[in-house]
Structure 1
Amino acid sequence: MTASDSNSGTTSGTTANNEVNENQLYIRKMIDTTISIGIVFILISGCYLIMHPFILPVIWAIVIAVGLFPAFLKLKTWLGNSEKLSATTIVLLSLSLIIAPAIMMSSSIVDSVQYISTGLEQESLAVPPPSEKVKEWPVIGEQTYQFWLSASENLEAVLKQFAPEIKSFSSGLLSALAGIGGGILQFIFSIFIAAAFMLNADKCNSALVKTATRIMGSRGPSTIEMSGKTILSVAQGVLGVALIQAILAGIGLVIAGIPGAGLWALIVLLAAVMQLPVLIILGPIAAYGFTVMGTLPASVFLIWCVVVSISDAILKPMFLGRGVDVPMLVILLGAIGGMLAAGIIGLFIGAIVLAISYQLFVAWIDQAETQEA
């Protein structure tokens, strides 16, 4: 064996050893990375499981805090720059707006149930006979009159005839009331969290901006600003318009002397928030008005109901999308689509997601045009 052969063998052995060491190092790094990713995944999963009950209340709290922050700043100025007093005032006012209608609604429901149950037990429950004017109702007049007349003549027989439907409706109503009660408690919890967010607005905004910048780079701060404006826009354009419609409907119901005007106004508010035409609530009430009022006042009340129902078509363009560099149609589609997908909170989430997506799409198009130029 020559010296050159010996050197060649040594070089080959060294190369093989280096390859083995590199493979071992690569495998070690892969194992370390896999373990690290696994630990991070376990931590994230654990955090999600722990925080899952609070996710929806926190999202609502963010929406409430952003929506009420302008009012918080004004109150702070009026109350001698006292942030705690301003936050306390907002909490108390918000709670009163939620608890008072809830008490009225629950009291009305309890009284109605007690009245019906007592009447059934004592066989004193009676339905007054329908007016002849009911027959004049378009499409459903004759059928409604016959059903109403049967109930007034023999209520027990009518109840037995529709017992399965009544039982199914009652169970569904109880389930819905339980859900509403849970939602009210959750909303109250969100109000207190929102107060904490408003008291720490600068810290919260700084944390959000840093997070968005870490994820989206230079677009992070503008995205956070646009998200806040979108929440305000939806709050004004959807919730604000719904509140205006409910107030207008309530005024008309009170003047017309409709029983349970406050409860009906609350139902109108819920229907308007869910983007349902409020005429489906006010229409039957207006029809009822023709049976208990004269033709002229009943007609005026019907016109008022129609005006209230179509007022959202005028008011929404005035409020929705205001202050946001995104077309109103994008905000509206995001709000309605989000609500259909995720309930009431989807109004805000859907609008924000679609607004951000729209801006990213526009930026991508502009960037492509710049590169071509």
Structure 2
Amino acid sequence: MNTNNQPNTELEQRLASRLLDVLIRAGLILALVALCFQIFSPFLTLMVWALILAITLYPMHQSLAAKMANKQGRAATVIVLLGIVLIVAPTTVLMSSLGDSIQQLVSNVQENSLQIPPPRDGVKEWPVVGKKVHAFWSQAHNDLPALVKSMQPKIGDIAKAALGFVASIGGGLLQFLASFIIAGIVMAFGEAGARGSGAIFDRIAGNKQGAEFAKLSTATVRAVAQGVIGVAFIQAIVVGLCLLLAGIPWAGVLAVIVLVLGIAQVPAVIVTLPAIIYIWSGGDYGNVEAIIYTVLLFVAGMADNVLKPLMLGRGVDAPMPVILLGALGGMAAAGILGMFVGATLLALGYQIFMGWVAMNPDAGASKQPEDSVTAD
């Protein structure tokens, strides 16, 4: 009886020892991963956006490098400099205008120098909320300090959040600039990066599915970055610069609204048409100036109709609510830069998940019996 139990006891001891070794190794690996993530997390949004930029601009980089005797670094430098001049610099101007507008509004509210125009009688006719909006608007017009005092806790929190956002604009712009520089470095070593990412996908999903997931990921990133975010971002910059040139108040805020509307595939004329009405009804513009600004804003508001075919915007397969939720969630988590990263990553996750669902090996087997029954 004892001789029979002895081998079982030794086997249990060996299994327990092996299991303990596995648990210790897994714990050490998890601890190492957690420490690495903690160290890398402050740069995570920046590096992800730089990688998205590199994937999106890589075909342009390769085309330019072919014209420069295959000088990868020189082509990457040219693209980075063009990005800084054409994208980073206008974005800096618009974000500066946005920060100035928010800071001026908060200052006017705190100093009780903000003037609210009276509401029109037609506001009462708005469905459901018309009377409440009219009463609140009238109170703000008649006695704004008393209204601010009655809402002081909420107003104080909003003011702190607004000033915090203004303070973070500078850091966001530096991140935006750094992302272009890092993207240029990634593009300069693009071939090695492509081999490395392909090896990672193969290790995770296998040789066949890994290659398909890698192609799907690249196509999704480029489609979303070019066709949705790229079009919306370029149009927001163009509209914002036209608003600044025309002297429209809150040009930076309106540019951000155009950006969000563009990601949601809503026409920018929702913003540009009221601006055109303001130009003609304000009385501060001459006829020639008003005509010039009207043409500029009208063309800028319709620019997406030209940009989408040029930037292959029709190739985006992810549902628009997925992209919009990713953009809004990313902006709430990581600011303006997070808007671009969130939209791209959520669309990428959706596409990879749906691609995984479509690769179900049991789907064809389950259909074969049905087909044979139908044939019989």
Q: Could you say if the C-alpha distance between residues 52 and 368 of structure 1 is closer, same or farther in structure 2, counting changes exceeding 3 Å?
A: farther
Q: Is the 8 A contact 1:234 1:321 kept in 2?
A: no
Q: Could you say if the C-alpha distance between residues 101 and 46 of structure 1 is closer, same or farther in structure 2, counting changes exceeding 3 Å?
A: closer
Q: What is the DSSP-based 3-state SS (H/G/I as helix, E as strand, rest coil) of the residue aligned with 1:79?
A: coil
Quote the offset at 1:246 in angstroms. 3.1
Q: Is the 8 A contact 1:334 1:353 kept in 2?
A: no
Deviates more, 1:304-313 or 1:18-27: 304-313
Quote the offset at 1:272 in angstroms. 3.6
Corresponding position of 2:28: 39
- The residue type equivalent to 2:364 in the other structure is Q
* The one of 288, 312, 316 aligned to 1:319: 312
Aligned partners of 1:238, 1:168: CA distance in 2, in Å?
A: 33
* The one of 227, 236, 240 aligned to 1:237: 227
**TM-score (normalizing by structure 1):** 0.71
Aligned partners of 1:174, 1:126: CA distance in 2, in Å?
A: 17
C-alpha deviations, 1:251-283, integer Å up to 9, x for none?
Answer: 86589x444697477435533455384455435
Alignment of 1:322-337 (within 5 A): 322=315, 328-337=316-325
Q: Is the 8 A contact 2:97 2:252 kept in 1?
A: no
Q: Could you say if the C-alpha distance between residues 231 and 116 of structure 1 is closer, same or farther in structure 2, counting changes exceeding 3 Å?
A: closer
Whether 1:308 and 2:313 are equivalent positions in the alignment is: no
What's the Cα RMSD here? 4.7
Q: What is the DSSP-based 3-state SS (H/G/I as helix, E as strand, rest coil) of the residue aligned with 2:264?
A: coil
Aligned partners of 2:97, 2:244: CA distance in 1, in Å?
A: 19
Corresponding position of 1:6: none
- For the pair shown, which has the larger CA radius of gyration, 1 or 2? 1
Corresponding position of 1:223: 213
Quote the offset at 1:74 in angstroms. 2.2
Corresponding position of 2:335: none
Quote the offset at 1:310 in angstroms. 10
* The one of 24, 29, 51 aligned to 2:18: 29
Q: Is the 8 A contact 1:230 1:321 kept in 2?
A: no
Whether 1:77 and 2:62 are equivalent positions in the alignment is: no
- The residue type equivalent to 2:225 in the other structure is A
- The residue type equivalent to 2:325 in the other structure is G
Quote the offset at 1:369 in angstroms. 4.7
Quote the offset at 1:284 in angstroms. 4.2
User: Which runs of 5 or more residues in structure 2 are unaligned?
Assistant: 127-132, 332-338, 372-376
**TM-score (normalizing by structure 2):** 0.71
Q: Could you say if the C-alpha distance between residues 190 and 362 of structure 1 is closer, same or farther in structure 2, counting changes exceeding 3 Å?
A: same
C-alpha deviations, 1:176-230, integer Å up to 9, x for none?
Answer: 2223333222222222221221111121111111111111112101111111111
Q: Could you say if the C-alpha distance between residues 254 and 38 of structure 1 is closer, same or farther in structure 2, counting changes exceeding 3 Å?
A: closer
Aligned partners of 1:341, 1:109: CA distance in 2, in Å?
A: 21
Aligned partners of 2:239, 2:260: CA distance in 1, in Å?
A: 12
Q: Is the 8 A contact 1:230 1:351 kept in 2?
A: yes
Whether 1:86 and 2:75 are equivalent positions in the alignment is: yes
Quote the offset at 1:320 in angstroms. 3.6
Q: Is the 8 A contact 2:324 2:343 kept in 1?
A: yes
Q: Is the 8 A contact 1:214 1:220 kept in 2?
A: yes
Report % sequence identity: 24
Q: What is the DSSP-based 3-state SS (H/G/I as helix, E as strand, rest coil) of the residue aligned with 1:174?
A: helix
Q: Could you say if the C-alpha distance between residues 350 and 321 of structure 1 is closer, same or farther in structure 2, counting changes exceeding 3 Å?
A: farther
Aligned partners of 1:317, 1:368: CA distance in 2, in Å?
A: 42
- State how many pairs are aligned: 342
C-alpha deviations, 1:97-138, integer Å up to 9, x for none?
Answer: 2134314642785599789989x99xxx998x99xxx99999
Q: What is the DSSP-based 3-state SS (H/G/I as helix, E as strand, rest coil) of the residue aligned with 1:330?
A: coil
Aligned partners of 2:326, 2:39: CA distance in 1, in Å?
A: 25
Quote the offset at 1:167 in angstroms. 5.8
Corresponding position of 1:338: 326
Q: Is the 8 A contact 2:221 2:348 kept in 1?
A: yes
Corresponding position of 1:367: 364
C-alpha deviations, 1:268-307, integer Å up to 9, x for none?
Answer: 553345538445543542442342259x979x959x7699
User: Which runs of 5 or more residues in structure 1 are unaligned?
Assistant: 1-11, 323-327
